[in-house]
Amino acid sequence: MKRAMGLDVGSKTIGVAVSDLMGWTAQGVETVKWTEPDYPEAFKRLDVIMKTYNVEILVIGLPKNMNGSIGPRAEASEAFAKEIEQHTGLEVVFMDERLTTMQAERMLIDADVSRKKRKQVIDKMAAVMILQSYLDRTNR
């Protein structure tokens, strides 16, 4: 199984998760701060993470609109994917990420995590959910 990295790309932060060595579970790594569209700024930290975990495939959340159409955020994710694919030469896969941030928020609220703390971990949790969806689909 190829080691995968899941990314929840926002305009100010990128949630990062990686798969375990068996490719069964996704673990949150961190939230990378960046200013869209300063790709080199984001890649500086992401390169270190990819090297540390020997990442071979990138799974990027595609925030489609509820009707399935592609809006400005999804276009920004596609642009990011194109840049990181050229930068790394790694395979990039998209996962529909509709509702992942809301699911992550609901889980954190249910776990009684404070609003301030939720803000710090929400993107990382969304990345975990994006990557876990991919792993579940791939391992079926």
Quick one: pLDDT at residue 75? Answer: 96
Write out the residue range of the structural domain in which residue 129 sits: 3-139
Query: What's the pLDDT tens digit per position in 53-79?
Result: 999 999 999 999 889 999 999 999 999
Distance CA 60, CA 74 (A): 10
SS3 41: helix
Residue 88 has pLDDT above 90, yes or no: yes
- E strand intervals along the chain: 4-9, 13-19, 26-33, 57-62, 91-96
Quick one: pLDDT at residue 39? Answer: 97
CATH number at residue 124: 3.30.420.140
Q: Which pTM value belongs to this model? A: 0.94
- E strand intervals along 23-120: 26-33, 57-62, 91-96
The number of folded domains in the chain is: 1
